[in-house]
Amino acid sequence: MSQAATHHDTHHEAHHATGITRWLTTTNHKDIGTMYLVFSLIMFFIGGSMAMIIRLELFQPGLQFVNPQFFNSMTTMHALVMIFGAVMPAWTGFANWLVPLMIGAPDMALPRLNNWSFWILPFAFTLLLGTLFMPGGAPAGGWTMYPPLVLQTGEAFPFLIFAVHFMGASSIAGAINIIATVFNMRAPGMTLMKLPLFVWTWIITAFLLIASIPVLAGAVTMLLTDKFFGTSFFNAAGGGDPVMFQHIFWFFGHPEVYILILPAFGIASAIIPTFARKPLFGYSSMVYAAASIAFLSFIVWAHHMFTVGMPLAGELFFMYATVLIAVPTGVKVFNWVATMWQGSMTFETPMLFAIAFVVLFTIGGFSGLMLGVTPVDFQYHDTYFVVAHFHYVLVTGAVYALIAGTYFWLPKWTGHMYDEKLGKLHFWLSTISVNVLFFPQHFLGLAGMPRRIPDYAVQFADWNMVSSIGGFVFGASQLLFVWGIVKCARGGEKATAQVWEGAHGLEWTVPSPAPYHTFSEPPDASTIEGGMR
């Protein structure tokens, strides 16, 4: 098998397709990884522009720029684009690039499926973004698509549903590929408990995807038949139940938030030991904690809907299960802190972003704990406090880990060192502005400002203005990120194979840039200490 693969690879390299055909037909995990990452960066800026429109309208009370319907389209599309277009494909891009390199495999297990799962995405987002130009406007019922409101969507409705189906199909295919790769293609000696944590968290994420995305597909299909085929799954007047949609949606939706954050845990667990020059503290407890979080994610969904009026027993169960997540999450944070303790730290850009990730994600964790306490959630629910919470865990959580990971592996991908000064400038501008952007939103929520409103009472004016200023600076700062990446791809100081003094793991044993084909002969991983190092 391995011989056949080797032979095929050499053959393939000889007849390397060029131009656009190369990218359309490629089955190479590095090419596909690059396409995923570039795609997600484009989506990050499209979703980000929508956020800029939102913050511009909220800069002061009154309506100055957009009408309320378009504002609602912006909040809805911002969420869909960022979640399904930016963060999820970015993680799949990282997995494509890194999983084979980290486990010593020549490529992904299912290379043609890999090509297909990427190329579904441009179609999905053409459908979704195309709705902006349709009669009735883009979807405006929130990314959560609650009926009956979502059924009031105009011509965009079926496009929304099919776009979600496409994104889901792409994610499931990607997840199957990663599981097949890790379970079948590890180099000899690379046992499961030696896998780098990024690989571990991605396997767990892949199982979450396979378990939860079909549930979303079912939910949106029921919406489709309710709208066009006369069913009444969610129509109270026809004997259906609008709350059932919320239960089904969040049965997908809560695992989904861990799909977005678990690989981030893996990235932090790779970067912090590298720059602390000290082994990761509590490797096995990190694996068990990630698995516990994944398990719990399936039994906490109703905390997103405490105010729908559940029986007392249900509210108590979901409260207890939710706050329980604080335990394994706490273990992870404590482990990262213990890894830094008595280390020998340096603060290159990836480390700066990783430390900021730990601190700011923890702030998001605290507000998450507060939100999990049902009686108090009756106040917090659907206010800006929630907006602050999930942006702390998704922007300074997931996105920060993505940025940290990009700077960390960019030298391996391009063969050049990135501009450290530019990276640090990007870090400081982002980190100051992101807090100016999101921290005041805690105050707004506590003071009583609901989320998803285009205009607000005047007592909320000051903090909204502060938040918007933070937003504009944060948005602009991300241009430095793109500049840094382009600069690094074009040239710069040559990177060594190991790149970082404290770097350990198989991906650092291949040259930089990583050759088009790596590990055609499986390495002997028994000498590698793996995640334990």
Q: Which residues are catalytic?
A: 78, 107, 143, 170-171, 254, 256, 258, 269, 303-304, 329, 332, 451
Residue in 17, 24, 192, 308 binding another protein, rule: CB under 8 A = 308
Q: How far is the CB of 245 from another protein (least distance, A)?
A: 10
Determine if residue 387 is left, alpha or beta; phi over 0 gives left, psi from -120 to 50 gives alpha, anything else beta.
Answer: alpha
Structure tokens at 15: 């007849």
Interactions with another protein, residue window 99-118 (CB under 8 A) = none
Q: Is 193 in the site for another protein (CB under 8 A)?
A: no
Residue 56, H or E segment: helix 29-57
Q: Is 482 in the site for another protein (CB under 8 A)?
A: no
Q: Is 291 in the site for another protein (CB under 8 A)?
A: no
Q: How far is the CB of 317 from another protein (least distance, A)?
A: 11
Question: Please, are residues 276 and 345 in contact by the beta-carbon 8 Å criterion?
Answer: yes
Q: Please give the C-alpha separations between residue 47 and each of 11, 343, 350, in angstroms, as whole numbers.
A: 41, 38, 24
Q: Is 381 in the site for another protein (CB under 8 A)?
A: yes
Q: Please give the C-alpha separations between residue 475 and each of 57, 384, 405, 452, in angstroms, as whole numbers.
A: 15, 20, 19, 20
Q: How far is the CB of 57 from another protein (least distance, A)?
A: 10
Q: Is 323 in the site for another protein (CB under 8 A)?
A: yes
Q: How far is the CB of 101 from another protein (least distance, A)?
A: 23
Q: Report d(CA 60, CA 25) in Å as an integer.
A: 49
Interactions with another protein, residue window 200-239 (CB under 8 A) = 236-237
Nearer residue to another protein within complex by CB, 166 or 336: 336
Nearer residue to another protein within complex by CB, 5 or 369: 369
Q: How far is the CB of 305 from another protein (least distance, A)?
A: 8
Q: Is 341 in the site for another protein (CB under 8 A)?
A: yes
Nearer residue to another protein within complex by CB, 149 or 497: 149
Count of Cβ atoms closer than 10 Å to residue 287 Cβ:
20
- Bond into 513 cis (ω within 30): yes
Dihedral sign from CA coordinates of 377, 383, 388, 394: positive
Q: Is 134 in the site for another protein (CB under 8 A)?
A: no
Interactions with another protein, residue window 54-83 (CB under 8 A) = 61-64, 66-69, 72
Q: How far is the CB of 482 from another protein (least distance, A)?
A: 28
Nearer residue to another protein within complex by CB, 252 or 275: 275
Query: Between 148 and 187, how does the x/- string for binding to another protein read (CB under 8 A)?
Result: xx--x-----------------------------------
Nearer residue to another protein within complex by CB, 346 or 526: 346
Which residues lie across from 450 on neighbouring strands? 383
Q: Is 331 in the site for another protein (CB under 8 A)?
A: yes
Q: Is 362 in the site for another protein (CB under 8 A)?
A: yes
Q: Is 13 in the site for another protein (CB under 8 A)?
A: no
Q: What would you measure as the largest C-alpha separation in the chain, in angstroms?
A: 71
Q: Is 363 in the site for another protein (CB under 8 A)?
A: yes
Closest to 85 (Cα-Cα) out of 168, 162, 173: 168
Q: Report d(CA 391, CA 434) in Å as an integer.
A: 9
Closest to 475 (Cα-Cα) out of 395, 398, 358: 395
Count of Cβ atoms closer than 10 Å to residue 23 Cβ:
17
Nearer residue to another protein within complex by CB, 13 or 529: 529
The residue behind tokens 């990630």 is: 290
Residue in 10, 126, 225, 307 binding another protein, rule: CB under 8 A = 307
Q: Helices 420-446 and 349-372 sit at what angle, rounded to 10 degrees?
A: 10
Nearer residue to another protein within complex by CB, 32 or 363: 363
Size of the site for another protein (CB under 8 A): 94
Instruction: Say how far residue 529 (Cα) sits from the centre of its chain.
Output: 28
Query: Which span (28-36, 108-116, 281-289, 408-416) binds another protein, by CB under 8 A?
Result: 281-289
The residue behind tokens 């964790």 is: 365
Structure tokens at 490: 């074009």
Nearer residue to another protein within complex by CB, 151 or 489: 151
Q: Is 197 in the site for another protein (CB under 8 A)?
A: no
Residue in 3, 4, 375, 527 binding another protein, rule: CB under 8 A = 375
Phi, psi torsion values for 416, nearest 5 degrees:
-120, 155
Q: Report d(CA 475, CA 480) in Å as an integer.
A: 10
Q: Report d(CA 269, CA 283) in Å as an integer.
A: 9
Phi, psi torsion values for 383, nearest 5 degrees:
-115, 180
Q: Report d(CA 410, CA 97) in Å as an integer.
A: 11
Interactions with another protein, residue window 250-279 (CB under 8 A) = 276-279
Residue in 358, 394, 402, 528 binding another protein, rule: CB under 8 A = 358
Residue in 13, 382, 521, 524 binding another protein, rule: CB under 8 A = 382
Residue in 283, 392, 427, 481 binding another protein, rule: CB under 8 A = 283
Query: Between 440 and 459, how does the x/- string for binding to another protein read (CB under 8 A)?
Result: ---x--xxx-x-xxxxxxxx
Residue 354, H or E segment: helix 349-372
Residue in 90, 140, 173, 190 binding another protein, rule: CB under 8 A = 140
Q: Is 468 in the site for another protein (CB under 8 A)?
A: no
